[in-house]
A and B are shown apart, each in its own frame.
Chain A
């Protein structure tokens, strides 16, 4: 009897252990399956976002800028955007990604990812734990493409092509990679999500993309001087139809830019998507209204310029603000950029051909500061204390210090962009010369730099 009982007990214990281990295994496989499903979903959205952001540069920006120049410079201007799709990609693959996102010091990344060493299908837990590291790398690359392309709006119609390539190569090394590292890279000074010393909220690139490019554009416009005949000859946009198409593509592409910056397909992405759309619409309304009151007529060039200004301003805020503040940010950006482009520029007299500074520099600065005002932990609980409790994000939520942090980020971007752009231009000018000869400029860059014409209507 005793042995029988012992036997029974032993078997039941063994049986229980077996059931328990079976349950563990099933639980684990369930977790794995859930993780794989989430990863697939997130990766699908992020790959689409990558493509959307590239779509912003070509054809979006190429058409937007291409339509705004004179017909003799349409190809040269489109070539700026397109060639930077090529150049920035090569730089990124060799060293750029590493300098931006490798672990380095406060200001620039290290060399761990040079030649994309170690960047594969496995996620990088620091940046985006649910998508392949390769996807993250590619997504960030698309930002590195559009940023220098934005600057081309300021030097359009009057920079030598070779100079442009040298300038941009240097500029990426001196300005973009460091700035991207500071704001988004692990260990960066301004990184808000990975514990930077001065946490600056920049969801999708208000400082990194728009302020750096905008201020660099202004410096480029000043160093280059105005286009030959500026103020005397008419320099009307040669084809606003192209510009409207381009601006609409920018609007669509911007969903990838901002909602993709959630780095997953979560509710945060939806929130950023909505904020982006509202910001764009409100800014277009703001610019049109200002123009209607000021000039007597609302123009479509004004409407699309306002739309882009709003998209710029909402970029740093997209993943931190609710829809109504997004409307406010957009509307203010529309008014402010209208004022910068039509009144301040005329007063100061610089020739920023396509208003890269007035739209991206001004809109980016406004947006970065307003992010510090309207950011709320309801949308994105980014700040937490040691015990994991969520802290306030922006000024209106009670975190007044954030506005100061935003200002520091803005100032660093302005200073780095201005100084970097100046130095890079001077070096490029010393190597290749700055501007085409006056005959070449008169002929147009299409012919003089590329040996072709945009419109051969008689052939």
Chain B
């Protein structure tokens, strides 16, 4: 099992959800986050007081998938989230040892 974490542009969330649904990925967790990588922030001015806004709003998706499906999911996700501009975000993949369904104590990939 692998955990896929993707930080994407908030306005791409709907596209990504649609694309993942199309390949049969139904479960995911979404967190509204703020951050930045190489993308620069922007400047705001209030009565002469300047603020550099570095941390921009992003959406982080988390999902656990069967190891066999990782490449397909990552490809779909990155295609759907891409605009080609700086700030599109990143995808991280990590190993997951165990998954447990709380309702009936199922374990492993059947619990996903």
Residues of A within 8 A of B (CB): 234-237, 295, 297, 299, 301-302, 305, 341-343, 345-346, 355
Contacts and interface: CB of A to CB of B under 8 A. Distances in A.
B51 A234 contact: yes
Interface stretch (B31-39, B41-49, B67-75): B41-49
B79 to A, nearest CB: 34
Contacts of B44: 236
B45 to A, nearest CB: 5
A236 B50 CA distance: 9
B47 A305 contact: yes
Contacts, number: 24
A297 B45 contact: yes
A226 to B, nearest CB: 13
B48 A346 contact: yes
A234 B45 CA distance: 11
A189 B111 CA distance: 87
Contact of B46 (A301, A343, A345): A301
B47 A341 contact: yes
A2 B54 CA distance: 117
Contacts of A346: 48-49
Contacts of A343: 48
Contacts of A355: 47
13 contacts: A236-B44, A236-B51, A299-B45, A301-B46, A301-B47, A302-B47, A305-B47, A341-B48, A342-B47, A342-B48, A343-B48, A346-B48, A346-B49
Interface string B46-71: 11110100000000000000000000
Nearest to B52: A234
- Chain B contact-residue range equals under 10
Main secondary structure of the interface of A (DSSP, over half): helix
B68 to A, nearest CB: 39
Contacts of A299: 45-46
Nearest to A299: B45
Given A234-B51, A235-B49, 9 more contacts: A297-B45, A299-B45, A299-B46, A301-B46, A305-B47, A342-B47, A346-B48, A346-B49, A355-B47
A61 to B, nearest CB: 17
Contacts of B49: 235, 346
B107 to A, nearest CB: 34
Leading 8 A-B pairs by shortest Cβ distance: A342-B48, A234-B51, A295-B45, A341-B47, A301-B46, A342-B47, A237-B46, A236-B46
A234 B48 CA distance: 13
B53 to A, nearest CB: 8
A305 B49 CA distance: 14
A341 B47 CA distance: 7
A270 to B, nearest CB: 34
B65 to A, nearest CB: 31
A297 B47 CA distance: 12
Contacts of A295: 45, 48
A342 B49 CA distance: 7
A236 B49 CA distance: 9
A305 B46 CA distance: 11
A297 B44 CA distance: 10
B81 to A, nearest CB: 28
Nearest to A297: B45
A343 B49 CA distance: 10
Contacts of A237: 46
Contacts of A301: 46-47
A310 B46 CA distance: 19
Contacts of A341: 47-48
A235 B48 CA distance: 12
A345 B47 CA distance: 10
Contacts of A302: 47
A238 to B, nearest CB: 11
A283 to B, nearest CB: 15
Contacts of A342: 47-48
Choose among B44, B47, B49, B51 the residue with the greatest number of A CB atoms under 10 Å from its CB: B47
